[in-house]
Amino acid sequence: MVCSSGVGVDDEVITQFNDFKLKRAPHDYRYFIYKIVDDSEIVIEATGPSSESYQDMADKLAQITNDCRYALVDLDLTTKDGRPTSKIVFLSWSPDTARIKSKMLYASSKEAIKRVLMGVGIHLTATDASELSLESIQDGVAKFL
């Protein structure tokens, strides 16, 4: 699938997402980090096993300061009435320090990956480390609950 920016999505992104969403063995992941390679294709850059936390993923993203990324995370949280739940969250990481070209490419290509991540209803954007904090992300997710 190619979007108006000319960026396509690697088939492995779709395959891994479907297994992730359905929690099919042996795909036991907490998160995926995606990047655009050669200004033409969205690919999986990194994965984290379910034993890792949201913070592990956030720390990896925060280390990327001159480029953007997309991420998908299975976030465990507690509802306002105290029930434990989990939500799959799509996150756009567009740090303030990223190159303008990167920000434009990721912004114009976001719809392509969102189209293949069927059923993910929570889309958030972070531009600095404070917006990547678990508290900030939980506040963003709470608006969708």
Buried b (16+ CB within 10 A) or exposed e, 20-32: bbeeeeebebbbb
Q: Which CATH number fits the domain that encloses residue 21?
A: 3.40.20.10
Calpha distance 75→19 (Å, rounded): 17
| Cis peptide bond upstream of 84, omega within 30 | no
Calpha distance 56→125 (Å, rounded): 18
83 in helix, strand or coil? coil
Res 142: pLDDT: 87
Structure tokens at 138: 């939980």
Is residue 98 in some structural domain?
A: yes
Buried b (16+ CB within 10 A) or exposed e, 132-142: bbeebbbebbe
86-145 pLDDT per residue, tens: 899 999 999 999 999 999 999 999 999 999 999 898 999 999 999 999 999 999 998 887
Nearest to 94 by CA among 122, 132, 56: 132
Res 5: pLDDT: 63
Number of domains in the chain: 1
pLDDT(78) > 60:
yes
pLDDT(32) > 80:
yes
Is residue 2 in some structural domain?
A: no
pTM for this prediction: 0.91
Res 23: pLDDT: 75
Residue type, 61: L
Is residue 89 in some structural domain?
A: yes
- The residue range of the domain holding 75 is 8-142
